Amino acid sequence: MDAVLTVFAKKMEMQRYSPATIKTYRNNIRVFVNYFIPANPTDLTDEQLQEFIYVMVNERSISQEYQKSLLGAIKLFYNLCFNRNIRIEHLYPKRKESKLPVVFSTAEVKSILDGTTNLKHKAILSTIYGCGLRISELLHLRIADVDSKRMILTIRAGKGKKDREVMLSPKLLELLREYYKEYRPTNFMFEGQGGGAYTARSVQNLLKQAMYRAQISKDASIHTLRHSFATHLLEAGTDLRFIQELLGHSHIKTTTLYTHVSSVAKSKIPSPLDLL
């Protein structure tokens, strides 16, 4: 199986899939192949593929997002490795889940950052929140992407292979300069101990540690800082179109999700209790 997964990964690399997608799809196919051991994937019928998805959805209760990810990986796997075009479009979920993102309050973000005494960790968390970055964008951020004259941070090849620019906070610039003087990164802005890019797991762990110190028990991830960036901008009166550009969303519909978690409009609605 390792040999097959290696071939699959190499073919995805040649088609310029992102490292994150390659890792996710490799893991998905490992789950898929393990389910049918000792059967060979080339011998599986469309009916068996459908049965696999049925079990994952109804017995293992996977999420809609994971279901779509599994199906995407399986379809690409057969196409690239066996030149077989399988028809599984009918197995995609028809109803979209409507889950609101978890968001930190501004007080919680301040508590997280103030309680982070390690300069590098504080710079990482501040950059994600201050610029609304995805974790992959932070990990690939380079020193040359910081333009202190224009006060702009350039995000290169973000989701969808699109470049974009975001504002560079004076407070963040000062913090990054302090961090640079102490750690002296050579290429990536945030490098691991042995050089090269910092790892996603390390970033997730340092947020968990910061949340523990701040006594915040929300079911949050590093992406929660990005959600909080967007929500807090909206609550401060920033136009939704600008937020869309800063986040790198292709469609405004994606950005409007934050109107559902923003407290601005809701706070102005009188409770019927106050009308008694």
Range of the domain at 246: 106-264
Per-residue pLDDT, 91: 85
146 and 243 part of one domain: yes
Look at residue 270 and tell me if it is in a domain. Answer: no
Residue at a domain's end among 59, 91, 123: 91
- pLDDT, residue 236, reads 86
Note the pLDDT tens digit of each residue in 236-251.
888 889 999 999 988 8
- Confidence at residue 256, expressed as pLDDT on a 0 to 100 scale: 84
- Residue 80 in any domain: the answer is yes
Asked whether residue 236 is domain-assigned, the answer is: yes
Q: Are residues 121 and 231 in the same domain?
A: yes
Q: Count of domains in the chain?
A: 2
Q: Are residues 237 and 205 in the same domain?
A: yes
Whether residue 194 is contained in a domain is answered as: yes
Residues 259 and 140 in one domain: yes
User: Is residue 79 located within the same domain as residue 111?
Assistant: no
Residues annotated as catalytic are: 134, 159, 223, 226, 249, 258
Q: Is residue 256 part of a domain?
A: yes
Which tokens belong to 174? 């000062």
pTM of the model: 0.70
Same domain, 122 and 26: no
Q: What CATH number has the domain bearing residue 234?
A: 1.10.443.10
The answer to whether residues 65 and 200 belong to one domain is no
- Which residues of the chain have a pLDDT value below 70? 95-98, 157-160, 262-276
CATH number at residue 69: 1.10.150.130
Place of tokens 């102005």: 268
| pLDDT computed for residue 97 by the predictor | 57
Same domain, 60 and 125: no
Same domain, 256 and 165: yes
1-13 burial, b if ≥16 CB within 10 A, otherwise e? eeebbeebbebbe
Last residue of a domain, one of 66, 91, 116: 91
Is 240 a domain residue?
yes
Residue 218 domain flag = yes
Q: What is the DSSP string of the chain?
A: -HHHHHHHHHHHHHTT--HHHHHHHHHHHHHHHHHHTTS-GGG--HHHHHHHHHHHHHTS---HHHHHHHHHHHHHHHHHHH------GGGS-SSPP--PPP---HHHHHHHHHT--SHHHHHHHHHHHHHT--HHHHHT-BGGGEETTTTEEEE-S-TTS--EEEE--HHHHHHHHHHHHHH--SSBSSB-TTSSBPPHHHHHHHHHHHHHHTT------THHHHHHHHHHHHHTT--HHHHHHHHT-SSHHHHGGGGGT-SHHHHTSPPGGGG-
46 inside domain? yes
Same domain, 232 and 123: yes
Same domain, 116 and 222: yes
- Looking at the fold, whether 157 and 21 belong to one and the same domain comes out as no
Residue that is last in its domain, among 30, 58, 91: 91
